[in-house]
Amino acid sequence: MEITVLDIQILKALNREVKEVSLLIKEMTAPYKALQQATKWLDQQEACQLLNISKRTLQTYRAKGILGATQINRKTYFRLSEVELLMQGERPLKKQKK
C-alpha cells in the first residue's frame, strides 16, 4: 500500500483551480442552455405518456398535421414545446368521427 502526502497549501491551490475551471465552463455554456432546453426532443413513448394517448392516436396526430415530428434512423421524435402546446390546448385538436 502506497501513501501519498500532500501539503495543505497545494491541496487548497488545486481546489481553487478546479473551481475556476468549473466557473469558466459554466460561463462558456450559459448561452447554450436556453437553446438546449428549447429544443428538447421526446420519443414516441414519452410523448404518449405526456399526452396520455396511445401510439396509434399519436400517429393520427402526425398524419393530420396536429403534431409535427422528425424521423432519425426510423425513430420518431417530437418537440417537447409542441407537445406542451397541445397539452395546453393552444394547438387545434381536430375531433375524430366515430
Within a 10 A sphere around the Cβ of 86, how many other Cβ atoms?
20
pLDDT score, position 92: 57
CA distance linking residue 70 with residue 38, whole number of Å:
16
- pTM here is 0.55
Does the structure show a pLDDT above 60 at 93? no
Higher pLDDT, 89 or 16: 16
Does the structure show a pLDDT above 50 at 98? no
Render pLDDT for 32-65 as a digit per residue (tens, 0 to 9): 777 666 678 899 999 999 999 999 999 999 999 9
